Amino acid sequence: MATKYLKRFFKPASIAVFGASARENSMGGAVIQNLQESGFKGALYAVNSQGYDEVYSVPCFKSLKDLPEMPDLAIICSPPETVADIIRALGASMVKAAMILTGGLSSADDGVSQTLRDEVREAAKPYGIRVLGPDCMGMLVPGHHMNASYSHVNILKGKVAYVGQSGILGTAMIDWATGQEIGFSHFLTLGDGADVNLPSVIDYLAQDPYTHAILLQLNQVDGSARDFLSAVRSASRNKLVLVLKSDIFVGEKSGTELAPGIYDDDQVYDAALRRAGVVRVETSDELFNALETLTRMKPMRGERLAILSNGTGLNALATERLLEQNGKLAKLTDETIDALGEILPSYWNRSNPVDLSADAEPARFAEGVRLLSKDKNVDAVLVLHAPTRLAPSVATADQVIQVVKKTPRNVLTCWMGRATAIEARNHCNAAGVSTFKTPEESVDAFMHMVDFHRNQEVMRQTPPPYVEQNTPNHIKARDLVQNALAEQRDYLTHQEACALLDLYDIPVSNTYYSHNITEVVEQAGRIDNSVRIKALHRQNVYPFSYDAKGSQRWRDIALDLFSASEIEHATTQLSYRVAEDFRPEDQLGFCVQQMKRGFQSLQINVGITRDPTFGPVVVFGVGGHTVDVLADRHVMLPPLNMALAQELIRQSRICQIIEENSYRPQQDIEQLCKLLLNLSEMVVDLPHLKCLEINPLLVNKTGLLATDVAVSLSAEEGKLSISPYPEHLTEEIRLKRSGRKAIMRAIRGEDEPNHLEFYNKLSPQSIRLRYFYSRGIPTHQELANWTQIDYDREMAFIISVPRDEGQGMETLGVVRAVTDADNVRAEFSVVIRDDLQGEGLGVALMSKIVDYCRSRGTLQIVGSTLPNNKGMQNLAKKLGFSNSFNVEEDVVDMKMMLNEPTEDWQRLRLNLAH
């Protein structure tokens, strides 16, 4: 996720365009013209083997070696077959950035396995030249006066960055945004993504102070899904991020690889994007409207919406749409109702939505907006207008705009119609007021903002206290899986699968195994009640084994058998059926269980599958053998905590059924959450586990019980898209002065309450030394950012001990290191509770973070402290840091080299001599 090289793309000092000519249809010529018209201030050259003297007054050279200087950025618009040679020449001349607008490089010639795109990638490798594209539309950066694209128009300067994978959709977005007078901070498409990847660009834009929101148009996630989610999640903590995920497949999707048990990969994408805290839009229209909202909207106060219009019909359309999407109508205060009553007819509805009546004139619209925007129960206002002789569109818009400029509330407008409404919308665009064509579009745009804030809240929920896992049993589980793989099996037997659940504290129905009909009858005789018999074979040992209709294969099961004759007859039928379909070596006997009737059991389908893009996924929904279990299947990316497990259950019909029918709904949901946490732990512990399905899992007044399970394995390890908790970094230490045993480990989200308590025990002096200023009690959002960290990007270690009263643990100290995207430099901070000085906590924590950063290959660790913090300075010296006074910042800088740089750019970043 390196960003070091992107400055050459976004802010080049010089550009050379290859393949540029003055002929009418020249892409390179269009790029030259766009660069000139955008006012690019750097050196500009054209390169064309035809030997032109100039292209649109820009000096042209026959080859790269003829240029007076090597450019920061090369833009390639040459024929496909020439691109790889140009890349080699650029690399040999130490040019470090190339943008390829040429298309057609991804198609291989007949009989040739390597595409031209692959050839370009191989050509760039030896030289370290970075490549954007091929088949990208280019890049536009208004703040740098650069339109390095083939776009037909330039873009305005704005605060939203657009990153797409489709060049044509990008040009359409530019055209629409220009018509709406909407600008961008950056605009680019990645094309085929031979080298420069989406996570790197997102990281760059997330650090850009002029970019307040990021819009992503996504066909698919190329490369590491973990890098992508890490970058998007990091960006969404500080900036609003919206994603248009489009389907790259046209027609039938039969060739698309899907996760077992998942029939629509969009479901997994939705789960991944929600987990990253971003909002997904479904259509290009929604994307346009989202851009409108992002550009015009003020900071969100909440999600309570007030609606007003000059007719009940418009109000009804907007209200219905809002409630469909689980939006909230604001409840007006009595003061607002009374104030509105003074400007409205006596028969008005006295509630939200507000009907201004068909005789409303512009002044009534403006006053209605003013009163609603002052209501303490209103977070945003939606104005719906249908043109009348009394309220012309433009005149009404102008008066509403004057009110909007004076209120901190968000006000969205909708001007229905066309003839006069277009000019009203143009006035709103010019004034920076959000405006839409229909009530439904207006509500959708508002709900994008609401959904973003809801996703952020879910992402920052404080998980309940962490429960220690049964580590010895988990070691046995790993051995169980390894033994099966050693036997070259890609599945666990039914007996092994049940044993695996038992090792993770998931209750399993007592099961007897038999090889033939006689043994089945004998085993069934040991069961007092009716029995269930399942024929085992090579097909049903695999999870998510459904027939063409989407139902689980249930014909290999016989249910509700009482007498020995019934049992023998049913088993004989099962035996004949299996013998017809499977060879003897693929017939695996029978399992016999007691039927679980009479407890009003709810049947659930729960398990694990592996998505080809995002890796392991936890699935949950309604279960059973004779129903379509796909109708209520919901997914979430592990690792899970209690808050995320609760969210997954709430998405399913199961939650409502339990709340309406169980006499102990809270306990049932809590048990299901614990089971989901156990499955999440299983995913982390067992990387070779491919899929697991428990169907049905029974929930009744006696608790949970798994009655059937199947497990498949893979020789290839599954890679989680979200970094799991680094349990292996936990260690036990002993405090120096008191001799108390303590635990030093990575911080987790569940530590938030303890972390707040720890902060409150710090003295004002310690807080000032840590933050360089006096500050108040941290908010929940700040605490969530401190405790719910991405272990791929930062690390925080805490030392904790058991409380004297025996209730949980308390935090004594914390050290944190945040590493830059290129893993060159990590910046540390450390703070110890005042009453624990002299216990050796500082040395332990600092040694831990130094060793951790060194093991990750970080080159340097740095920190700053105030000049009067002699304790920190002495600790740093003791550990091998070099301290120096920074006159400009009035701090003491502490630095330590951890690993030696191996490349010139690393030495440059560290200010070291070559």
Instruction: Please give the pLDDT value at position 36.
Output: 96
pLDDT band for 368, please (50, 70, 90 cuts).
Answer: very high
Nearest to 829 by CA among 863, 873, 795: 863
With 90 as the cut, is the pLDDT of residue 108 above it?
no
Instruction: Please give the pLDDT value at position 598.
Output: 56
With 90 as the cut, is the pLDDT of residue 333 above it?
yes
With 70 as the cut, is the pLDDT of residue 253 above it?
no
Residue 806 tokens, joined: 């025996």
pLDDT per position as a tens digit, 672-686: 999 999 999 999 999
Instruction: Please give the pLDDT value at position 501.
Output: 96
pLDDT band for 109, please (50, 70, 90 cuts).
Answer: low
Higher pLDDT, 440 or 662: 440
Please provide residue 711's backbone torsions phi and psi, each rounded to the nearest 5 degrees: -135, 130
pLDDT per position as a tens digit, 587-621: 999 999 888 765 568 889 999 999 999 999 999 99
d(CA 514, CA 591): 6
With 70 as the cut, is the pLDDT of residue 547 above it?
no
Give just the sign of the alpha carbon dihedral 172, 178, 181, 184. positive
Please provide residue 652's backbone torsions phi and psi, each rounded to the nearest 5 degrees: -95, 160
Please provide residue 808's backbone torsions phi and psi, each rounded to the nearest 5 degrees: 75, -160
Mean pLDDT of 872-889: 93
Mean pLDDT of 824-846: 92
Give just the sign of the alpha carbon dihedral 352, 358, 362, 363. negative
d(CA 45, CA 18): 9
Query: How many whole angstroms from its chain centre is CA 793?
Result: 15
* H or E element at residue 700: strand 689-700
d(CA 642, CA 146): 48
| Selection from 30-39, 223-232, 450-459, 565-574 with the highest mean pLDDT | 30-39
| Selection from 158-167, 297-306, 324-333, 560-569 with the highest mean pLDDT | 324-333
* H or E element at residue 875: helix 870-879
With 50 as the cut, is the pLDDT of residue 250 above it?
no
From 233-247, 360-374, 834-848, the region with the lowest mean pLDDT = 233-247
Q: Give 400: exposed, middle or buried? Use CB within 10 Å, 0-12, 13-18, 19+.
A: buried
Instruction: Please give the pLDDT value at position 248.
Output: 43
d(CA 446, CA 297): 9
815-830 CB burial, b ≥16 within 10 A, e <16: bbbebbbbbbbbebbb
Mean pLDDT of 769-778: 79
Q: What stretches of 375-493 show up as alpha helix (H) in DSSP? A: 393-404, 421-431, 439-459, 471-486
pLDDT per position as a tens digit, 433-481: 989 999 999 999 899 888 887 777 777 766 666 666 667 888 999 999 9
Higher pLDDT, 462 or 97: 97
pLDDT band for 526, please (50, 70, 90 cuts).
Answer: confident
pLDDT band for 124, please (50, 70, 90 cuts).
Answer: confident
Higher pLDDT, 900 or 456: 900
d(CA 728, CA 725): 9
With 50 as the cut, is the pLDDT of residue 71 above it?
yes
Instruction: Please give the pLDDT value at position 461.
Output: 67
With 90 as the cut, is the pLDDT of residue 47 above it?
yes
Instruction: Please give the pLDDT value at position 82.
Output: 92
Q: Give 257: exposed, middle or buried? Use CB within 10 Å, 0-12, 13-18, 19+.
A: exposed
Contact 63, 92 (CB under 8 A): no
Mean pLDDT of 423-430: 91
Name the average pLDDT for the chain. Answer: 88
Contact 602, 580 (CB under 8 A): no
With 50 as the cut, is the pLDDT of residue 913 above it?
no
Instruction: Please give the pLDDT value at position 827.
Output: 94
pLDDT per position as a tens digit, 697-744: 999 888 899 989 999 999 999 999 998 889 899 999 999 888 899 999
Contact 759, 833 (CB under 8 A): no
Instruction: Please give the pLDDT value at position 317.
Output: 94
Residues in the chain: 914
With 80 as the cut, is the pLDDT of residue 287 above it?
no
439-459 vs 284-296: helix crossing angle, rounded to 10: 70
Answer left, alpha or beta for residue 214, where phi above 0 means left and psi between -120 and 50 means alpha. beta
Mean pLDDT of 551-580: 83
With 70 as the cut, is the pLDDT of residue 303 above it?
yes
Strand partners of residue 831: 814
With 70 as the cut, is the pLDDT of residue 914 above it?
no
Contact 303, 443 (CB under 8 A): no
Instruction: Please give the pLDDT value at position 733.
Output: 94
